[in-house]
Structures are given as structure tokens and as C-alpha cells.
Amino acid sequence: MPSPRYWREVPARYRLEAGRCVGCGAVVYPARRICPACRGQQFERLALSRRGTVVTSTVIHVAPTEFQMEAPYAMAVVETPEGARLMVQVADCEPNEVGPGMEVALEFRRIRKEGKSGILCYGHKAVPVR
Amino acid sequence: MAGIVGYGAFIPRHRIKAEEIARQWGKDAAAIRRGLLLEEKSVPGLDEDTITISVEAGRAALERAGIDPRLVGALYIGSESHPYAVKPSGTVVAEALGVGPEVHVADFEFACKAGTEAMFVALSVVESGRAEYAMGIGADTSQGAPNDALEYSASAGGAAYLFGKPHVLAEVVETYSYTTDTPDFWRREGEFYPRHTGRFTGEPAYFRHITAATKAILERTGLKPSDFRYAVFHMPNGKFPLSVGADLGFTKKQLETGWVVPTMGNTYSGSSPTGLAAILDVADPDDLILITSFGSGAGSDSFVLRATELLPERRGRAPTVRSMLEGPRRYLTYGQYANYREKILLNE
């Protein structure tokens, strides 16, 4: 991902800022210009809670090159209390422990490095709440 | 009076036991446990670094303070493992915490005392009236060369302190700093692991600076060791802080609450600040607390703090240090540890 694109996504990636449709109240993450529920075009910013529940998950055994040293790892769709859903890696656990209904916290982590000399990209990952 | 209005710590969940490192190198684990008083240490995941630790600790500090992050006018991070050589850790941390953009940010380095250095400057900014609130963070993913004594202790974690004047959880009664040019431990630009001078890191470095700073702050405040409920000294291993504490007249009971090194390791810039967080997790109102850091090179910062009535009420808003040390952990083999610490070389 080129650095300028990553920079544009900082509010969503660093602070979990989502958009709440002023018309119908639907929460979308990341924020969009048009509401997928009512096609409204007015949104207010909303910081998501840093917790949620796993809706569905899978285990990645054959990872993209830059994530090879982390494999196997779990990826999950997590729903926050606001109703937003986000796809995140689940860290600090055995990947096959992860499944629907698992309560997770969203922690700030380094997501990837742009090669050996590029920028470091940060965001959130889920960790099981025990 | 200015003081700590919020604090927080973060310790990664991965651990490696001293036995596992000793097994790798054919060393006597019992002798290491006995000599260094170390059981295990925290290890950062492949996705954890000084920035991620600082954000989690900083969030906990803001939760305990209960303030709008935009009121934080200065943010300083002390570490000897800033992820970038050029580009501040503080810019990422400030954005993630929702601090700024009207904020003064700087990264500090002073070996293991960079954290208290950041705290010291943050406190000064608040005392001078230049900012309503200022945050000082000490965090590290410490480096220790394979098969070096440091490998048993160099760990990962950190603590954040938010300073302000209203609604203080612990007043800062006095501060003192003591610095000399002492080449006991260093890492040159571009080098991956630090070097140290073995036994020379003891008497002329650690003990001299901690003793001088602690004696001076006691003299300035007119306090004696028995006046304190708790004390914490920098923890390069388990033995040194107990030894310097005893030399200065502190009892094991005063030291054991902040003595987190046996199961956390030495988090370098995060070491004594995390020990202080463990103390604030249990201290009662009016308890006097002493913290003296040590950074190779070399220097010590001392703080005398007094807990307030607000501390017990606020501490429950974020996880305690002991809950992180004794909570869910993942034990690593040396092979996994080598991977997590990126000691395995791969083609680009």
C-alpha cells in the first residue's frame, strides 16, 4: 500500500473512526460517502468501542509473503457494540481457538512493514478476552 | 500542586522462561535464576513495538484521568527501541490517542531512564503552565544479544504517566536528577545489539547513580527511608534493585510491590515506570512512594510521590500491572522467540 493511501486511512486505522448515517443511524466502518442502508449522504464521526464479538473466522495457513512468519494465524469478522463489522487478525492466541461468539478486545498493533526500509503501518487487531 | 492524573501500563502476553534460554545455550538455569533472580520475561509479538506498547499504556492513562485527549499539550516517549531511526514514535502515538495536532511531541533516549526523563519533562511542562496536561511514556522492546547475560532480562513493556494539576492521583513532592559520563552500556548507530562492560555496569554505574540520586532527594525532602510505604529502583535484573534498596535502608516489604522484574524482565525505559504503576495499583491515600530510575551512560531520576484520595477510585478504570503479569500468557520455545525477535535472517 503506498504511504499516502495509508495516511488517508489513519483516522479509521488508528482510532477506529466509523461513520454513523444521520438519516437512519447505520454505522459503517470504514466511513463511506453513501449509506449502504438508506443511501443517505450525511454522516457523523463515531469512534468504535475497542471491543467486539467474533461473527466468523478462518485460519490462514498459506499467508501472503509479508505475513509468512506469522502463519498460521486467525482472521475474523468482528462486530462492535455499535454494529460495525471489521475484518481483523486475531493475535496472542492459538488460531484454532478462535470462533463465532468469542469476545475480543481491539488492540493497537503493527499491521505490516513496507519492506525493509518503508513505512510501518499500524492499526488494530483482536485479542481474546479471557 | 502538579502530579500524576492518569497512569497506565502494557505488557505483551508472550513469555520465555529463563530455563528455555539457558537450555538453548547449555547454561545452568538454576545458577542464572539464583544469580539474577529472574524466572521469565515478556517478549513482544511480531506486531508489537515501542509505538504499540505506548498507545495501549497511553490509552489506559487517559481512561484513568477521564479527560478529553485534546487537552494534552505535550507528549514525550522515552525508549531505546524507537521503531524508526528518523520519524518520531510520538507522532503515531499522538494520532492514535486522539491527542493534538496542537501538541508538542518528542522522542527521548537515555538508555533505561528515557521513560523517567519523558516523565520529568512532561511534569515540568505542566508546572511551567505551558500545557494543562502532558504525558510522559517509557516503553521498550529491549535488545539483548544471543547468549549474552542480557538475553535473560531484555523484555518488552512500558508505562504512561499523564501529568496535570486538577484531580491528581499522586502528587509529585520532589524530583532530582544525577548525571555523569560513564561508559557502562551503549549501542552505536546501526548496531543491532547493545554492548556492556560486565561488572563495571554495577558499582560505578548502577549503584553510584541510584545511590546519589536517592540520597539527594531524601535530603531535599527531609524524609528518611522508613517514611515511605513503597520504593522502586530500576530493575536490570532481580538482584540489583534489592541490593541497592537494602544499602539505602529500604526493607524488602517496601520494595516487593514494585519489584516486577522476576516475571516481567527488564523493559529498559519501561522498567521502573512499570514498577511504579504496580505500586499505584495498590497504594493507599497519603502513602509516600519513591522511584529512582537508572539509565546507562549514565544517570538517575528520582521522584517522591504522595498518593491522594482519588487514586483508589480511579485505578479500576484500566488493567493492573499484576493482572497483565499473571493473566493469560503464551510460553515460547527459543525457536519461536528467535522468530518473534526477528533474529532469523530471510531473503528480501
- Mind giving me the DSSP string for A19-36? EEETTT--EESS--SS-T
**C-alpha cell recorded at residue B138:** 517509557
pLDDT in tens, B80-129: 999 999 999 999 999 999 998 999 999 999 999 999 999 999 999 999 99
Q: Does the distance separating the beta carbons of B55 and A110 come in below 8 Å?
A: no
Give DSSP secondary structure letters for B201-242: GIIIIIIHHHHHHHHHHHHHHT--GGG-SEEEE--SSSHHHH
Number of structural domains in chain A = 1
In 3D space, the residue among B123, B209, B201 whose CA is nearest the CA of residue B165 turns out to be B123
Average pLDDT over residues B270-284: 98
| Model pTM score | 0.97
Q: Does the distance separating the beta carbons of A108 and B52 come in below 8 Å?
A: yes
Considering A5-9, A67-71, B69-73, B181-185, the range whose residues carry the highest mean pLDDT is B69-73
User: Given the DSSP bridges, would you call strands B230-233 and B288-292 parallel, antiparallel or unpaired?
Assistant: parallel
In 3D space, the residue among B282, B3, B1 whose CA is nearest the CA of residue B162 turns out to be B3
Query: Structural domain of residue A25, as residue ranges?
Result: 3-128
pLDDT at position A3 over 90: no
Positions of B marked catalytic: 80, 112, 234
User: Given the DSSP bridges, would you call strands B40-43 and B72-78 parallel, antiparallel or unpaired?
Assistant: unpaired
**Centroid of chain to Cα B227:** 24
Contact between B78 and B118 under an 8 Å Cβ cutoff? The reply is yes
The whole-angstrom separation of Cα B42 and Cα B14 is: 6
Is A110 near chain B, with CB under 8 Å? yes
Which residues make Cβ contacts (< 8 Å) with residue A130, sequence separation at least 6? B327, B328
Percent of chain B with pLDDT over 70: 100
Q: What is the ipTM of this complex?
A: 0.96
Domains and CATH numbers, chain B: 3-169+312-340 (3.40.47.10), 172-310 (3.40.47.10)
The whole-angstrom separation of Cα A118 and Cα A74 is: 26
CATH for A112: 2.40.50.840
The whole-angstrom separation of Cα B289 and Cα B308 is: 12
Is A64 near chain B, with CB under 8 Å? no
pLDDT at position B346 over 90: no
Q: Does the distance separating the beta carbons of A93 and B47 come in below 8 Å?
A: no
Average pLDDT over residues B173-182: 97
